[in-house]
A and B are shown apart, each in its own frame.
Chain A
Amino acid sequence: MWVMAWLCSLASLEAQSLICGVSSPSEIPSGFRELTEASGFAAANGPWFEKIENDRAIRGFRPGPQHANALGIVHGGMLAAFLDSAMGTAVWHTLKRRAVTLRLSLDYLGPGRIGDWLQAEGEVVGHDEHVAQVRGRLYGPRHDVLAGLGAFALLSRQRSLKIRS
């Protein structure tokens, strides 16, 4: 999350050049592109996908057994991480600023099912020079799974990020 928005910056650049490579089209809805630049936590819990539609970023993933909790449904921490990434992306797409999460408030509305295609998107509802307020929604094919409201600190436009190899 400290860096979700950074991932998004890469994502949006590629999306703008209309690269739409999908690894297994039968499982991935059309228009979604795998976020191959992910590393660390995001890579270990991916693959995650993204689609730009009407100038909005939508993220998607299909949970497997490695995303399950003891009940066999998607772990709340996984859902939180995924929604956070989508909300960070929304900040980048709307304000063209990288951001880190300051606060995230989550309401778990229903279970996320293993094997379902889950999508998440964020909407910037307000911002000043330093902080953006973002609303987020994560949903499956049948119902809403998670609702989020977050505050994201906007990073300086000049600031460079050092990537660990």
Chain B
Amino acid sequence: MLPDNPPEGFLRIDFDRDRPDPTFNTHIGPLYAKRGTKGTRDEFVLGFRVQTHMCNPTGGLHGGMMMAVADLVGTMGGGTLAGLRKFLPTVNMTCDFVAPARVGDWVEGRPELVRVTRSLLFTNIYLTVGEEKILRASSIAKIPSGDGPAFGKARLERKEAASS
């Protein structure tokens, strides 16, 4: 596996605290996140280095991987921007595959809040490599009434991410 060498500010996301088996987000990763100043473009950024286990046989980033990450950016990132600390199940997502990414590329995902209602969260999501957009997604997530199922497991590792 290539070293991830995440850019400065990115911390690895630990999705499986106290869980016996790695879940899907860990399985497809490692995934990293960066938190920036509120209201800026970098308020929530998810990032990862494209590894071969994320690719199709020709060495391009697999669309399924792009969608899995976009889903995560929409719910985890969109929820963060909206100040919601619950699990937000996606009910609709539309993805446009704008450009490919290759093994070794550093991919970043950013959510944009479109609207938050009592029960729904509308977000736009872009995945980028450098300045180039590779995926555009539009997503709607359900905001459960009450506390909903807790989504408290995922944590950013406080130590600098070890490059593996």
Which A residues form the contact surface with B (CB < 8 A)?
Answer: 1-4, 6-7, 39-45, 65-71, 74-78, 80-82, 84-85, 100-108, 161-164
Taking CB atoms, residues of chain B closer than 8 Å to A77 are 24, 28, 64-65, 67-72
Tell me which of B53, B56, B92, B103 contacts A3 (CB under 8 A).
B56
Taking CB atoms, residues of chain B closer than 8 Å to A40 are 52-57, 62
Known interface pairs A65-B21, A108-B91. Does A2 touch B27 (Cβ–Cβ under 8 Å)?
no
Q: In the complex, what distance in Å separates the CA atom of A108 from the CA atom of B58?
A: 29
Give the residue name and chain of the B residue nearest to A111 (CB). Answer: B89
Tell me which of A2, A108, A163 contacts B92 (CB under 8 A).
A108
Give the residue name and chain of the A residue nearest to B153 (CB). Answer: A70
Asked whether B30 is an interface residue with its Cβ less than 8 Å from the other chain, the reply is: no
CB atoms of A2 and B23 under 8 A apart: no
Taking CB atoms, residues of chain A closer than 8 Å to B67 are 77, 80-81, 84, 104
Q: In the complex, what distance in Å separates the CA atom of A163 from the CA atom of B151?
A: 39
Q: In the complex, what distance in Å separates the CA atom of A69 from the CA atom of B90?
A: 12
Known interface pairs A2-B56, A7-B57, A164-B57. Does A70 touch B15 (Cβ–Cβ under 8 Å)?
yes
CB atoms of B23 and A65 under 8 A apart: yes
Besides A66-B23, A161-B57, 5 more A-B contacts (Cβ < 8 Å) are A2-B100, A66-B21, A69-B23, A70-B151, A78-B68
Q: In the complex, how many angstroms separate the beta carbon of A13 from the nearest chain B beta carbon?
A: 15
CB atoms of A85 and B97 under 8 A apart: no
Number of A-B residue pairs, CB cutoff 8 Å, is 162
The 8 A CB mask of B88-107 against A (1 = contact, 0 = none) is 01111111110010010000
Known interface pairs A39-B57, A40-B52, A70-B153. Does A81 touch B93 (Cβ–Cβ under 8 Å)?
no
Asked whether B114 is an interface residue with its Cβ less than 8 Å from the other chain, the reply is: no
- Shortest 3 CB-CB contacts between residues of A and residues of B: A81-B64, A77-B68, A1-B63
CB atoms of A45 and B23 under 8 A apart: no
Q: Which of B53-89 contact A (CB under 8 A)?
A: 53-72, 87, 89
Asked whether B154 is an interface residue with its Cβ less than 8 Å from the other chain, the reply is: yes
CB atoms of B63 and A81 under 8 A apart: yes
Q: In the complex, what distance in Å separates the CA atom of A164 from the CA atom of B91?
A: 36
A-B contact pairs, 7 of them (CB 8 A): A1-B63, A43-B53, A75-B25, A76-B90, A103-B96, A108-B89, A164-B55
CB atoms of B23 and A75 under 8 A apart: yes
CB atoms of B60 and A41 under 8 A apart: no
CB atoms of A107 and B92 under 8 A apart: yes
CB atoms of B58 and A163 under 8 A apart: yes
Taking CB atoms, residues of chain B closer than 8 Å to A108 are 89-93
CB atoms of B93 and A164 under 8 A apart: no
CB atoms of A106 and B62 under 8 A apart: no
Asked whether B36 is an interface residue with its Cβ less than 8 Å from the other chain, the reply is: no
Q: In the complex, what distance in Å separates the CA atom of A77 from the CA atom of B76?
A: 13
